Chain A
Amino acid sequence: MSSSEGETERDAQVPLFARPEWADVVPIPQDDGPNPVVPIAYKDDFRETMDYFRAVFKANELSHRSLALTSLAITLNSGNYTIWQFRRRILEAIDSDMHFELEFTEQIAKTNSKNYQLWHHRRWVAEKLGPEATEGELKFTRKIFCTDAKNYHAWSHRQWVLQNLGGWKGELDYCQKLLDEDIFNNSAWNQRYFVVTKSPLLGGLIAMRDSEVAYAVESIKSFPENESPWRYLRGLYKDDIVSWVNDPRVASVCLDVLEAKKNCVFALTTLLDLLCLGYNPSQELIDAVSGMGLPDTNPTRPDCGLAELICSILGQEDPMRTNYWTWRKSQLT
């Protein structure tokens, strides 16, 4: 990598107008029009960098020095998509080394990991490199997850890598690792579902269902207030709701949560859903719910009365969503 492509600390301190390699360029100031709608206040170094950028952009100069200029400009303002696009045109024109581009984006990601332009650029680079980039992309996203395990862009990128470049082998284990670190990480749960349903190495949803149900149930027992595993459990029975209702582990985990007197909102909601789908509750379940009970309630018809009771309890346990629970009650036949 020649020094003209990277910006060193020393270079960055010398203003552009004083640098010999820029002597032939006339910088172009931003034209905001006579009465700018949302006018900008400029900082000098930024202003100067952008003035030079506009000059090379207008001249369509696709050179090493204009590449270096985009590095500087992106470092100062990584959200400016026009600069990124111009950079791509330069990279193609000078047939630049894409490996350096990976390093560059990684640098920018250190302070801008939620930037759309950055991630799109990274994807463009990875696409050019093809399958040889697979390990590097998985590693890169893993690094991002070390500081922000829910970074939406990174997850989107990782899914794209898996589907387009490969690398599925360790993915379920990786989801496990993230969930061990934070069982509340909804992104990791989503990724787990993605792997279980789409990985060419695992046999598909139905083959994986049994072990995944077991995992979801264990996670629920540890933290029943965790929304994700409840949804995950339901998702494992995606197009086969009857099997969800009939899997004894579903009602059983609801009972466990209620008997343990832990946060019961999702357990009650799940039980409510089961009842609405025709589930026939055991006496234990009826007793567990009644035991929570509101005074003056005595379900004589176990299934319908029980569901009503659950709605009332939920209205108390989860008052923020009182209208929802009232609506659920109104839907009971």
Chain B
Amino acid sequence: MGEFAADRHVKYILSVEKRKDDFESVVMEHLRLNGAYWGLTTLDLLGKLDAVDADEVISWIMQCQHESGGFGGNIGHDPHILYTLSAVQVLALFDKLNVLDVNKVASYISSLQNEDGSFSGDMWGEVDTRFSYIAICCISILQRLDSINVERAVNYIVSCKNVDGGFGCTPGGESHAGQIFCCVGALAITGSLHHVDKDLLGWWLCERQVKSGGLNGRPEKLPDVCYSWWVLSSLTMIDRVDWIDGQKLVKFILECQDTENGGISDRPDDAVDIYHTYFGVAGLSLLEFPGVKAIDPAYALPVDVVNRIFFGR
């Protein structure tokens, strides 16, 4: 088994801010809030969240919030449900949800729900089950599920279920592990997992494991480390995570590391990025890899953070 270069990954995440000539960073400017969530959650999973100045992060995050209650991807960017969830999740990591005007955020989220129960990403109306998950996860962390129509939200998600047991982005959309995570996560959070055919979906999900031990997102596609999260968290939520070969998956994730400079890539020998670093570490967490804290498969936050939200200290 390869080595898990935890310290290198921590250094990589912390060093992203010191790079001057990284064009890749430039194109991520508008989704920096997502980047913050990926980086900081990974640090917390590796026990190193204290390496970051919480007050600075929180102060920056709050500058991303708009009158509507929604958050933009960075200062000066329009609000969107994607960044609103990341903002709430990062505040949860720091145990600072109390800085929020919960009513404001809740009303932003509820304003994005449509007649058919689906959610739009923002005022421009894009609909996708990703946004159903995001809305439900966010509003649940804020303990304001009462501010949306849960029944309709669930009905919409169920309408996106396919005959293979999986879920797509909209009704009729191809089953895709990312969309499945979103739908199963939303159903889990709203106590609606009885709508899932766990045996059928569990089999579809475990069929994502290919020879190399990695996971793909759909039949006949290449494996990618991010599916270590989407597939695994879905399997965990439906109690069938042992249907994949965990050891082989660990080996695949470890092979995707840059053990010299830190970070994890989508597949072995490709360039690393924060997104895949998070998903690789989160996957290892679900596989109970030593040295990595437990992560909640539905909220995508460390279990101790979720416990703190719902059960106090």
Chain A residues in contact with chain B, CB under 8 A? 30-43, 46, 50, 54, 57-58, 77, 79-82, 85, 88, 116, 120, 123-124, 150, 152, 155-156, 159-160, 163, 184-187, 190-191, 193-194, 197-198, 226-228, 231, 234-235, 238, 320-324, 327
Contacts and interface: CB of A to CB of B under 8 A. Distances in A.
A227 B124 contact: no
Contacts of B245: 320-323
Contacts of A320: 209, 211, 244-245, 248
Contact of A235 (B35, B52, B122, B163): B163
B134 interface: no
B76 interface: yes
B169 A156 contact: yes
A185 B220 contact: yes
Contact of B30 (A82, A120, A124): A82
A171 to B, nearest CB: 12
B30 A186 contact: no
**Size range of the chain B interface in the assembly:** 35 or more
Given A38-B17, A41-B19, A228 B219 contact: yes
Contact of A41 (B25, B52, B78, B248): B25
B30 A79 contact: yes
Which of A38, A85, A150, A238 has the largest count of B CB atoms less than 10 A from its CB?
A38
Give 3 closest A-B pairs by Cβ, nearest first: A235-B163, A190-B174, A80-B30
A77 B174 contact: no
B302 to A, nearest CB: 19
Contacts of A235: 162-164
A193 B27 contact: no
17 contacts: A30-B76, A32-B74, A37-B36, A37-B57, A38-B16, A40-B26, A40-B28, A41-B19, A46-B23, A79-B28, A80-B29, A82-B73, A85-B78, A116-B126, A187-B174, A193-B163, A231-B163
B30 A231 contact: no
Given A38-B25, A41-B19, A33 B56 contact: yes
Contacts of B76: 30-31, 54, 57-58, 82
B243 A321 contact: yes
Interface string B14-34: 001101111101111111100
A323 B242 contact: yes
Interface string B152-178: 000000000011100011101111100
A42 B24 CA distance: 9
B75 A32 contact: yes
Contacts of A124: 124-125
A154 B23 CA distance: 27
B180 to A, nearest CB: 13
Given A79-B30, A324-B203, A36 B59 contact: no
A155 B175 CA distance: 12
Nearest to B31: A79
Given A43-B23, A159-B173, A227 B207 contact: yes
Nearest to B164: A231
Given A36-B17, A46-B26, A235-B163, A321 B206 contact: yes
Contacts of B244: 320-321, 323
Nearest to A318: B207
Interface in B164-197: 164, 168-170, 172-176
A324 B29 contact: no
A33 B33 CA distance: 14
Given A54-B76, A227-B207, A81 B30 contact: yes
Contacts of B78: 81-82, 85
Nearest to A42: B26
B124 A186 contact: no
A228 B124 CA distance: 35
Contacts of B30: 77, 79-82
Contacts of A185: 220
A41 B35 contact: no
Contacts of B248: 320
A155 B243 contact: no
B292 to A, nearest CB: 22
A238 B197 CA distance: 13
Contacts of A324: 202-203, 206, 243
B243 A327 contact: yes
B261 interface: no
A191 B74 CA distance: 37
Contacts of A116: 126
B243 A152 contact: no
Contact of B209 (A32, A39, A197, A321): A321
Nearest to A190: B174
Nearest to B210: A320
B39 interface: yes
Contact of A160 (B170, B219, B220): B170
Nearest to B58: A37
Contacts of B242: 323
A271 to B, nearest CB: 15
Interface in B273-297: 274
A38 B76 CA distance: 15
B63 interface: yes
A77 B26 CA distance: 9
Nearest to B178: A152
A159 B17 contact: no
Nearest to A78: B27
A155 B218 CA distance: 14
B60 A120 contact: no
